[in-house]
């Protein structure tokens, strides 16, 4: 049986970092809605144009746009892989219901939904220092995980960037959107008996161990 995981958590809790470890160690396919939106923006597509204004304000892109984009990713290609890790989707109950419906039609089951948890104030500190590489996606932090050469990606030499939505006002808005729109998604999956809660305020390796533990419970 392939391992199919959903990672849910506030911005900055480390979903991208955990997803990268899962991809590297379990060979899962990484489907990150935020990354897909950002690549659509970079490519200047119509979808990217629709999403950009919402993203810049730290709001959610409307459900119909997001669900359509993610459904297109769930083809038989996905079913044939070893499994997937969903990162940043679903973020609303309507998205979770649409996902269930789509997966059911493909006879794919979600193995576990992992809730990564952390205090809001720690998120603000984490995201204010976050730097990302636009070429390879590697994530750094000015205090806790700086690159060897300032402003330059260790992996590919790309010029590191501050994400447009990583400024304190937008971060706070994204956090309140998470509490209002995404916490009900946790209740939805808890009701289905699929939720595994993990403390996200620890070293990435410790968080990873707990994520994996959730797969064998």
Q: Residue 79: which H helix or E strand, with range?
A: helix 76-80
- The residue from 38, 91, 112, 138 that is catalytic is 91
Q: How far is the CB of 177 from ligand AMP (least distance, A)?
A: 7
Give the strand pairing for 130-132 and 139-141.
Answer: antiparallel
CA distance linking residue 154 with residue 211, whole number of Å: 27
Q: Which region among 19-27, 33-41, 78-86, 207-215 touches ligand AMP (by CB under 6 A)?
A: 33-41
Question: Is residue 91 involved in binding ligand AMP (CB under 6 A)?
Answer: yes
Q: Segment near ligand AMP (CB under 6 A), from 19-27, 56-64, 113-121, 190-198?
A: 56-64
Structure tokens that stand for 135 in this block = 């070429």
Radius of gyration of the chain (CA): 17
Give kind and range of the element (H or E) at residue 103.
helix 93-105
Does 10 bind ligand AMP (CB under 6 A)? Our answer is: no
38 among known catalytic residues: no
Per CB under 6 A, the list member of 19, 47, 61, 114 interacting with ligand AMP is 61
Q: Which stretch binds ligand AMP (CB under 6 A): 58-66, 106-114, 129-137, 186-194?
A: 58-66
Q: Is 174 in the site for ligand AMP (CB under 6 A)?
A: yes
- Encoded tokens for 185: 């998604």
Task: Please spell the DSSP secondary structure of 156-216, one letter per residue.
Answer: T-PBPB--TT-SHHHHHHHHHHIIIIIHHHHHHHHHTT-EEEEE-SS-HHHHHHHHHHHHH
98 interacts with ligand AMP by CB under 6 A: no
Would you tell me which residues interact with ligand AMP (CB under 6 A)? 11, 33-34, 37, 54-55, 58-61, 66, 88-89, 91, 95, 165, 174
Catalytic positions: 15, 91, 130, 163, 174
């Amino acid at each position: 049986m392939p391992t199919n995981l959903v990672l849910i958590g506030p911005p900055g809790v480390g979903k991208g970092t955990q997803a990268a470890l899962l991809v590297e160690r379990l060979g899962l396919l990484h489907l990150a809605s935020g990354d897909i939106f950002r690549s659509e923006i970079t490519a200047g597509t119509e979808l990217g144009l629709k999403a950009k204004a919402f993203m810049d304000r730290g709001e959610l892109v409307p459900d119909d746009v997001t669900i359509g984009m993610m459904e297109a990713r769930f083809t038989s290609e996905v079913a044939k892989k070893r499994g997937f890790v969903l990162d940043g989707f679903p973020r609303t109950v309507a998205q979770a219901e649409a996902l269930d419906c789509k997966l059911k039609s493909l006879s794919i089951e979600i193995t576990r939904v992992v809730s990564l948890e952390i205090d809001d104030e720690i998120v603000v500190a984490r995201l204010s220092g976050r730097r990302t590489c636009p070429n390879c996606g590697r994530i750094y932090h000015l205090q806790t995980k700086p690159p060897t050469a300032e402003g330059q990606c260790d992996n590919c030499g790309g010029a590191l960037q501050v994400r447009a939505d990583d400024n304190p006002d937008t971060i706070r808005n994204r956090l309140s959107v998470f509490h209002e729109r995404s916490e009900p998604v946790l209740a939805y999956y808890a009701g289905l008996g699929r939720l595994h809660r993990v403390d996200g305020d620890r070293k990435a390796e410790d968080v990873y161990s707990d994520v994996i533990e959730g797969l064998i419970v």
